[in-house]
Every structure is written in C-alpha cells, then in structure tokens.
Amino acid sequence: MIRQYELVESVKSYDTGADEDALNRAYVFSMKAHGSQLRASGDPYFSHPVEVAGILAKMKLDTASIITGLLHDTVEDTVATLADISDLFGDEIARLVDGVTKLSQIELQSDQSRQAENFRKLVLAMSEDIRVLLVKLADRLHNMRTLKYVKDEEKRQRIARETMDIYAPLAERIGIRDWKDELEDLAFRQLNPDAHVSVTTRLDFLRSSGGDVIGRVIEDLRKTQAEGGVKAEVTGREKTPYSIWRKMQKNNVGFEQLSDIMAFRIAVDSDQDCYRALGVIHNCYRVVPGRFKDYISIPKPNGYRSIHTGVIGPENQRIELQIRTHEMHEVAEYGVAAHWVYKQGRPETEGTQYRWLRQLLEILEHAAEPEEFLEHTKLEMFSDQVFCFSPKGDLYALPHGATPVDFAYAVHSEVGNRCVGSKINGRIVPLRTELHNGDQVDIITSKAQTPSPTWENFVVTGKARACIRRFVRSQQRDQYMSLGREIVAKTFRQEGYELTEKALKGVLKNFDCDQVDDLYAVVGEGQYTGREVLWAVFPGARKDRSQKVVPLTKARSKAGKDHAVPIRGLIPGMAVHFAGCCHPLPGERIVGIVATGKGVSIHTIDCETLESFADAPERWLDVSWDVGGNDDPFHVGRLHVLVNNEPGALGTISTVIGRDSGNITNLKIVHRSIDFFEMLIDIEVTDIKQLTDIMAALRATRVVNSVDRARG
C-alpha cells in the first residue's frame, strides 16, 4: 500500500502547486471513514482508495482528482455524507465524489452486456466532468487487479465481462491505452482462462527458443535509422495476449501462422522525421502489403497520430512498426491528458491546465464510429441524449428532453399507443415529464387507450411523432368517412332521393376516388358537398334544387334530428372543431360550417361569424348534439362578468361556480376601475344547462353586477 507521504510526494513531483494539506486531510478522512472494513483479499479496505489515488497520480492528474480517488467510496460504503465532504473539501470535490458514486450505483442496475454501447454512452453522459470518468476507470482498474480475491465465481465473471464490454472501450475512447490494455488483459484472464494460458505459454516458448528476438530487432532498426541519418529512439514489445487472441479469432488463423506478435516503435523529434524514418524502413525491408496507414496525415477521431507499417523484419519475421514523434507518443499512451502534462512546463495563463479536460470532452463528443452516425442523427448524439432503464433493466437511449411517451414508443409502438400513465423511479408522473439520466421508467398501459393528438406537442423522438401522426391520420380518415357518410345520407334524404352504394360506385371517378369510403372521406373533409354527390348520381336533381336552396335559417335548423348530423363520437380536433368565437355548448342550438380540407367547425346558431357564410349555403351543415354518455368530454364556456371591486368578491364567484361543479380553466381581468372589475372566465361544463345554472347563481350574488356569455 502506498504510504501517505509517498502519495503526496508523487503528486508534488509533477504539480508543485498541489494542495498538500488537502491531500493529507483526504488521506486521513478516508482511512478513518473506512475504519476496520476489509477487502476480499483480507487487506484493509482503505488500501483500495489509496491505490486508486496512486493510479491517478501516475497519470499526473490534478489534486482534485487524486482527492476524489481517496474519497470515492466513502459516501457509498461508510457513514460519511456528501455534506461532510463538501464542508471539509469544498463543492468541487463533493461534486466529483457524487459523480463517481452515481456511476457506481447505475452499475448495479442492469445487465449491461447486451447493450454495451448504450451503457458506455450512459457512463459518458453521467460523467459530466471527465475527471469523474477517470476516477471511475482507475477504480475499476484496481478492482480488476484484485479480482482474483473475489470468492464468488459468478461475480468475478460479471465484473470481468463488464470490464471488457464497458470500461476497456471507454479507456480506449479517451485514449488511455495503458489502462485499456491492462483492463482487457485482466478481463481476458477471467473470461477465457484456457485461451489466456495457451497464448501466454506459446509466447513463452517463442521467447525461449528465439532468444532475445526483440532485442536483436531493436538493435537492427536503430542501426538502419542511424545510417539513414535519422535521430530515432526504438522500442519494442510483445503484443498483449488479448490482442493476439483477438487477431487469431478475427483472421481465423492458428498461433503458428500468426507471425506478427511483436510491435516496434520508432520515436523521432518532428513530423518530417517520421516520414524520413519511414523512408529508411521501406528502403531496407520488404513491405507487407496492406499494412501501411498514415494517421499523421489523417488522425484518428480520438486524436491518435502515428504512421503504421508492416515489414518483413531483420529476423525474417513479420513485424509491425509505429512511427511517431515523442509528443504523439505521449498522447497515444496517456490520452489527451498528455497535452496537459506537456503544457505544464510552459508559462500559460491560469486555468489552462483544465483545457485538456474540455478538449477531451470535445473529442469524446465527436469520436463516433461511422455506423453510429448512421444510427443516430447528429442531433441525437449521446451528449444530447438521456439514458433510461425499463423496470427489467433494459437501457434505452433517447434524445434530451424525451418524455415517458417517447420512452413508451421506444420500447414498442404498441406500448406507446396504449400508454395511459407512467411512473418514474416508482412515482406517478404526468406523461409530459422530462426524463433524466438513469431514471427507471414504468409505463402503464390500457387496452382502451389510443394516442392523443396532444402528445405531439411534447414528444421529441421521430418514432413517437410518426406513430402518433399515423394514428391521428387514420383516425381522422375514419372521422371524415363517418361524417361524409352522414352528410351524403342527409342530403339524399332531404332532397327525396334514394341513396344506394351501387349508385355511388358509378360516380366514383367523377370525384377521383377508388372506393365509396374514399368518397365519404372527401365529402367529410369538405372537398365536395353532399349536393355535388347527389347531382352526380341524379343529374336531374340540380334543376329541382333551384327552388329548394335557401341559406340555413333558424327555422330550418329546427328541422329535427332526422336531418342533422350527430357530432357525438367525432373527436374534437380532427373532423370537428368547436369554434373559438362562440364556444358552443351541448344543449345549445348549433350549426356546422364545412371548411375545405378541415372538416366541420361548430358554431352556435346566433354566432355573428355565420353571417360571412350567408351566401355559401352549400357549406352549411345541420348538426345536433348527441350527448348523455359517461364519456362526454368537457366543453369550455366563456362568461363575461362584471364584479364589484370589493374584498372577497373573487372568492364568492369561485365558490358559486364550484358549487355548481364548474371548473375554472382561465380567468382574465379585462378592465378594472375603482368600482368594478370586468373579467372573462372560462369554465369547463358538460352542457349549456350547467352553464346557465352557474350564470343564474352568479347573478344571485350581491357582488356580481352582470353576467353574459362572451362571444367573439
């Protein structure tokens, strides 16, 4: 275990301004908090956070990261609270510790292996500060180093799988290759012990039989570079057992055929020297076709730069070579963190030492695989995403701002179509609630439910929107059809002609329709009138009509239910709209005006707007209320009220309205004077009778001066 002074000294060696006092306090705090807890290995638990801090110090990270490493398990595993940490070490540290704690908690929630990519994104999205991710990775690295002490085989397997699927790729994505290699190798050891043994045994054999092949190749490469006039540093190593194993699997080759198990690196001073060194190599050794890649000219998305090539080396063996500058090397080994290390020595303004964190975040955001770009539009990249769990632990990635309805449609379009409510983390919430990272979302469904057109106002995913629209469109068509059927039937009946399906079929092409239902739909939409259909079927009816047509009058609207189209069952907002000018209520005398392409808008018979349709009788439609069921929707009646300006007046009004079960949905003061308030009150009622009752009750109060229906 690293001792306190060793840790502090190692931080001070690269960061002279490190807060020594805070480091010491964090060390002692963590030791006391973990007390006598033990690790599976039998070591004091406290050794774990200290080792994690040591791993972070080796990466030359800032003091806050080191302290977070020391404290990272205190909130989760001891009596220490976030408030304690905030008091003792400040908000920044508390925020970092909280971030690591949250990452550790989501880890336990789900079987991630099936959805590794989403889970990696969740981790990234939750690590708002990249240092949270770095501490989490260091934590995982130390846990993997001590994995063998965990007794439960299943647990070891799970942790190793998770490391392979989630954490090693994350380490690679942020460019920390050392961590990636070690995480992979430790996981490989657990997941496939036989393969691990066979690869390492074979490597041992090659090593012993070939002698120091690597040493000899290095010597040779050094010599040729020197002769070529390039100042170069040459290193070489065996590839890791896991990367060899992967190559064997991928290329379907046996170990015997796998010759390039050695990788060499040539480090030079400048970009130009990289190409000169490459010239020397290709001049001296035979090139293996297809292995040359120039990542200096075109860097990898995570910032990696190097030239790769493969040649038949001095020992007549295929070898892989990477050529890069010393700085490129630092970046390749330590990720973007190296930029920071590099700039440490140079005088820069305050705060720039965190620039690499920002750069890293930027790179993370843009380092997507090409297929990922296809999968998600750029707008829906993980930085703009939110990740939520189903009750079973499945993980769903949704765009930022997504709601339970989006979630329901992401699960399955049927779940979306039938959703009536939702629970987030066990609590019932409105369907329009915005989801947050890590939320567990439980969708409540009902077979009787259908998508509401209003959902479209708050959903954000394309899928939800498309499903809702598709449903609304098909509903709309049904509505238009049934409305059109009523209109056609009414017209024929009124004019005294017999309506048969056969007759309609004969005139379909006049209306550019294939089926009778299509014809009904276009009439319902208002593209054609019932009379136009009648005249097509009975051309003689056109003449008869000249006497009969009169604008719809009050008298005619009394014609009775036989001729009227019942509007019950037509969903408001689709085929039927209640006019905003007169707020018609069930029980009132109403009339429909066919609006081309928009169905019918319903007005009260005395609405002034109707005057403008006086010379278009073909657009008037007899409609009647057909109410009485339990599922009658509420309608809004608007009252114009003049109230005395005195204490308690408003209270009296709302009490009176409430007593008659009216629900005030809006209240607007139009005008106020010393004596009176003039206001508009919108009240939800089931029919006109309820509203007139309320009006009568209001008039009976002392504070109300006058009450009228508000029009227009």
Q: Which residues are the active-site residues?
A: 76-77
Q: How far is the CB of 50 from Mn ion (least distance, A)?
A: 11
Closest CB to Mn ion among 73 and 184?
73
Closest CB to Mn ion among 72 and 339?
72
Q: How far is the CB of 77 from Mn ion (least distance, A)?
A: 8
Using the structure block, give the residue that is written with the tokens 């509505």. 479
Closest CB to Mn ion among 51 and 687?
51
Backbone angles phi, psi at 318, to 5 degrees: -70, 130
Examine residue 165 and tell whether it contacts Mn ion (CB under 5 A): no
Taking CB atoms, the residue at the shortest distance from Mn ion is 139
Q: How far is the CB of 383 from Mn ion (least distance, A)?
A: 26
Q: How far is the CB of 45 from Mn ion (least distance, A)?
A: 9
Examine residue 525 and tell whether it contacts Mn ion (CB under 5 A): no
Per-residue mark of binding to Mn ion, 24-63 (x: CB under 5 A): ----------------------------------------
Q: How far is the CB of 52 from Mn ion (least distance, A)?
A: 6
3-state secondary structure of 554: helix
Do residues 453 and 574 lie in contact, with contact meaning Cβ atoms separated by under 8 Å?
yes
Q: Could you count the other beta carbons within 10 Å of the beta carbon of residue 238? A: 16
Burial class (CB in 10 A: 0-12, 13-18, 19+), 345: exposed
For 4, residues 6+ apart whose C-beta sits below 8 A from its C-beta are: 24, 27, 28
Q: Rounded to an integer, what is the distance from CA 306 to the centroid of its chain?
A: 35
Q: How far is the CB of 88 from Mn ion (least distance, A)?
A: 20
Region binding Mn ion by CB under 5 A among candidate stretches 135-143, 269-277, 315-323, 347-355: 135-143
For 370, residues 6+ apart whose C-beta sits below 8 A from its C-beta are: none
Closest CB to Mn ion among 139 and 406?
139
Cα 322 from Cα 518, distance rounded (Å): 69
Q: How far is the CB of 34 from Mn ion (least distance, A)?
A: 11
3-state secondary structure of 188: helix
Q: How far is the CB of 353 from Mn ion (least distance, A)?
A: 26
Closest CB to Mn ion among 139 and 622?
139
Buried b vs exposed e over 150-165: b needs ≥16 C-beta within 10 Å?
beeeeebebbbbbbbb
Q: How far is the CB of 48 from Mn ion (least distance, A)?
A: 6
Examine residue 139 and tell whether it contacts Mn ion (CB under 5 A): yes
Cα 620 from Cα 616, distance rounded (Å): 7
Using the structure block, give the residue that is written with the tokens 């204490």. 647
Closest CB to Mn ion among 100 and 296?
100
Query: What string of DSSP letters covers 270-285?
Result: SHHHHHHHHHHHHHHS
Q: How many amino acids of this chain bind Mn ion (CB under 5 A)?
A: 2
Torsion of CA 270, 272, 277, 281, to 10 degrees: 150
Closest CB to Mn ion among 143 and 476?
143
Examine residue 73 and tell whether it contacts Mn ion (CB under 5 A): yes
Cα 464 from Cα 459, distance rounded (Å): 7
Do residues 528 and 511 lie in contact, with contact meaning Cβ atoms separated by under 8 Å?
yes
Closest CB to Mn ion among 49 and 313?
49
Q: Could you count the other beta carbons within 10 Å of the beta carbon of residue 669? A: 11
Cα 470 from Cα 336, distance rounded (Å): 47
Backbone angles phi, psi at 409, to 5 degrees: -70, -30
Q: Which helix (H) or strand (E) holds 233?
A: strand 233-238
Nearest to 695, CA basis, from 648, 657, 663: 657
Examine residue 406 and tell whether it contacts Mn ion (CB under 5 A): no
3-state secondary structure of 309: strand
Closest CB to Mn ion among 168 and 405?
168
Residues near Mn ion (CB under 5 A) are: 73, 139
